[in-house]
Structure 1
Amino acid sequence: MIRAGCSALLGQVPHVITSRSMAVSLQVSTSHCLFDEPLQVKVLGLSSGQEVTLKAAVTDEGGETFTSLGWYQAGSHGELELRQSPAMPGGSFSGVEPEGLLWALKPQTPLRRFLRRNVQTPLRLELALHQAHEPLGCLLATVTQERSFMREGVTRSLVREGKIRGSLFLPPGSGTFPAVIDLYGAGGGLMEYRASLLASHGFLTLALAYFDYDDLPKNLGGLHLDYFREAVEFLRSQPQVNNQEIGVIGISKGADLAISMATFLPGIKAVVSISGCAANSFVSLQCDGFTLPGLRFDPEKIKLTESGLLDLSEAIDDPRDPTYEECLIPAEKSSAAFLMLSGSDDKGWPSAAYSEQLVLRLRGHGKNVEYYCYPGTGHLLEPPNFPLCQASNNKHFGGPMLWGGQPKDHARAQEAAWQKIQSFLSKHLM
């Protein structure tokens, strides 16, 4: 905790400053926590009804700073507690939103997506309390909090086993753990933040890259089921895995790959599809003795919004069209349980309709499937406290791509979905 007064504006802010007129304290519940944990902030020592602004800031690995503002009015005893005190209209959010300072973060550079590639180093959250709202008044107090993606005791090891490339996250403690393969979408590369958080909650997790990483192909194409079979066999062979059946979680293109894995490969007991599709998308998947065609992407069907954003929602063949039936994944052949998650405001593609298509077919075959569609939620359904990215530059499509979502609704969905994911995986893999 750091205390400060308006005199701090006269020069460098020391580690501890006490105002002559008042002693204002800005407190967080803990100095170090997991990224997905709730944010608990309290302010004491204000005047009754005093109007103040809480400013949050984080800086990503590329040096981009994301900020948010919460406008507040102190209670009758000069106190604020974000779990109870409503934010006033005019800031980055309004109402009682304890995590609003996190999910409302926005970059200084437009169309910059908040990502965390280095999960071994905590993210530093800086909070500053100012008098007034607009313009900001003098600085009253500051405090910092480290938010980690790896709980103490979680270990990370790079995987270069045969053809597979990725990283393995082992939960703390002895014994065995439920095991999960984690797949991201058509952006490529190796994404580890969801896998590291899953390991922090007790799941042995393999973050699996499948293109544009290390010596893997640079472009999405030439996918072969053997690569994913090798990953399944590698994970199942780990001595810390609690049984021979594992889970797979995927988002976007990674979701239909997860469904294909559960359909054509043995040893997969649970599948989580996030913003996924009922069909194989973009490129063909070479399987044992046959090829599963991919829904085609047609650049000429990309629409340009009034604000200059690329709308790709209709640029891929519609899997509900009987013309593309051969691209559908015959998931009814799988013995796995399925959890399907989508957003009603997905602008990447209509994942709600695509997910419903698969859910209906699975239920028609008596399969175990749960489905949740979240209102006002976009394509990039991430773990809790990730700020909404409604649009971002996409190197593969050559411009700023629209993802969709409304900030408050999307934040609610991320929190709810994260709990559903953990409960589902625990139920079927423990």
Structure 2
Amino acid sequence: MLMRTSLRAMSGSRSVLSRPERLPHRAGMAVSIGVQPSPDSLFDEPLRMRVSGLSPLQPVTMKAWLRDQKGQLFQSAALYRADGEGELDPAHSPSLGGHYTGIQPMGLLWSLSPQTPFTRLVKRDVASSPLSVHIQVFDGHCSLEQLTHQPLATATNQRWFMKEGVSRIPVREGRVRGTLFIPPGTGPFPGIIDLYGSVGGMVEHRASLLANHGFLTLALGYFGFDDLPNDFNNLDLEYFEEAVNFLGQHPKVLGPGIGAIGISKGGDLVLSMAAFLPHVIAVVSIGGCNANTLGNLHYKNITLPGLSVSIDRIKFLESTLVDISEVMHNPMDGANNDCIIPIEKAEGHFLFVVGEDDKNWKTPLYAQQAIEKLKENGKENYELITYPEAGHLLEPSYFPFCYASVHRLVGQPVVWGGEMKPHALAQLDLWPKIQTFLRKHLEHQSKL
């Protein structure tokens, strides 16, 4: 089944007025920002913001900012005008400029941009602390650099990654290294393995958010964590099979089949899991490849070599920024056929997610080739979602758009592709669709 989502919304504008435009608010009126839910919410939960106490038609600048666990500052600003009653509701009033334009109720959050270039927002500690988002309103239309005067009002929202009752359990079982997130209640719950890409280590934010929505999720490390290998030059699928068996045997997991979700390198790993491991029956590949990449993958007496690359195809965009979208070879070239993942052998279901402006590699081509392979073998066990003007790093709802960040393998910042506004709207559209796909194919087991 082909499902195409077009989000050709106007990309975010960063233009601002050349000089601040101000109008004093009404004397004696206290300006306030109401935020719901308050003071706490889940990170992928929408907020309702409303400013009151302004003068009729008063121009104001709304600003949001947070600091990540390393102290890095992320901030955004948008220009608004109060209504005739002196109130402002971003759910009904358009932004006139700044980091985005138009009516975007959550624009202040998804447009948060790093003060230090090429910094990606990643929440490592999902259990003990939230991300504190500060929302401010200033008199007049100003750029971030011009906001030196005191705000008229400030509000704070604590954005958590685990709701009350979700359990976080570190896993050291056999060779398996990861973190288990168990929803509240008796279950059974659909079981999911969550994989990230070349960032390595242990990435837990998506797994914890999935647990909030009723999925028992194992965030699985596979290199650069604990006593695991430092790289992925030689991975063995038996490790992932051990993780599948561990999760499938959990008393609260609805079985026998489980799901898997992966992005980038994790995207081709979940395809390999579906092709070779029969208990993996529903996989989501986000910005993945239809061939094994970046090193050898071994399973029993089978080895899938890594798809070949040409380093000389790197494009230097700036002194420190590179484009690697042309580096990877075409999997369908004769010399690379042995890298292709035999997904036609899988009995499970696939969801391919494509950002059409992916600058990490040619995701649209890889998804097309994967679907053609399934069709050639009489398979219709797939869905495809594509997003124009979206890039490689499609994260859960409201994660700030990351234009470029340091690539572990390249050793310097690479551009990921996409435009801020359509990419952010793609994430907002995609996140519930991922859950619907996984729930459809995993909860159905109880009816067999």
- 2:289 matched to which residue of 1? 277
Preserved CA contact (<8 Å) 2:387 2:426: yes
- 1:14 matched to which residue of 2? none
Q: Hey, what's the Cα distance between the residues in 2 that align with 1:201 and 1:311?
A: 36
Preserved CA contact (<8 Å) 2:26 2:54: no
CA deviations over 1:115-158 (Å, ceiling 9, x no partner): 11111121111111111122335411111011111111111000
- 1:109 matched to which residue of 2? 116
- 2:3 matched to which residue of 1? none
Which of 39, 43, 46 is residue 38 of structure 1 equivalent to?
Answer: 46
- 1:3 matched to which residue of 2? none
Higher RCO, 1 or 2 (CA under 8 Å, sep at least 6)? 2
TM-score by length of 1: 0.93
Which of 230, 233, 239 is residue 251 of structure 2 equivalent to?
Answer: 239
Which of 338, 344, 364 is residue 352 of structure 1 equivalent to?
Answer: 364
Aligned pairs (5 A) from 1:60-209 = 60-89=68-97, 91-120=98-127, 121-134=129-142, 135-136=146-147, 137-209=149-221
- SS class of match (1:178): strand
- 2:386 matched to which residue of 1? 373
- 2:437 matched to which residue of 1? 424
Return the offset for 1:306: 4.1
- 2:298 matched to which residue of 1? 286
- SS class of match (2:156): strand
Which of 257, 267, 272 is residue 260 of structure 1 equivalent to?
Answer: 272
Q: Hey, what's the Cα distance between the residues in 2 that align with 1:237 and 1:19?
A: 64
Q: Hey, what's the Cα distance between the residues in 1 that align with 2:26 and 2:121?
A: 36
Comparing 389-398 with 75-84, greater Cα deviation is found at 389-398
Which of 422, 441, 448 is residue 409 of structure 1 equivalent to?
Answer: 422
Aligned pairs (5 A) from 1:327-342 = 327-342=339-354
Preserved CA contact (<8 Å) 1:312 1:349: yes
Q: Hey, what's the Cα distance between the residues in 2 that align with 1:396 and 1:313?
A: 14
The alignment covers a number of residue pairs equal to: 412
Preserved CA contact (<8 Å) 2:65 2:133: yes
Q: Which runs of 5+ in 1 are unaligned?
A: 1-17
Q: Hey, what's the Cα distance between the residues in 2 that align with 1:214 and 1:345?
A: 35
Return the offset for 1:360: 1.9
Preserved CA contact (<8 Å) 2:401 2:423: yes
Q: Hey, what's the Cα distance between the residues in 2 that align with 1:105 and 1:217?
A: 34
Q: Hey, what's the Cα distance between the residues in 2 that align with 1:179 and 1:164?
A: 16
TM-score by length of 2: 0.90
Q: Hey, what's the Cα distance between the residues in 2 that align with 1:138 and 1:62?
A: 26
Return the offset for 1:19: 9.5
Preserved CA contact (<8 Å) 1:332 1:367: no
- SS class of match (1:197): helix
- SS class of match (1:112): coil
Amino-acid identity (%): 50
- 2:328 matched to which residue of 1? 316
- SS class of match (1:244): strand
Q: Hey, what's the Cα distance between the residues in 2 that align with 1:152 and 1:85?
A: 34
- 1:27 matched to which residue of 2? 34
C-alpha root-mean-square deviation of aligned residues, in Å?
1.4
Q: Hey, what's the Cα distance between the residues in 1 that align with 2:375 and 2:212?
A: 33
Q: Hey, what's the Cα distance between the residues in 2 that align with 1:63 and 1:259?
A: 36
Preserved CA contact (<8 Å) 2:26 2:55: no
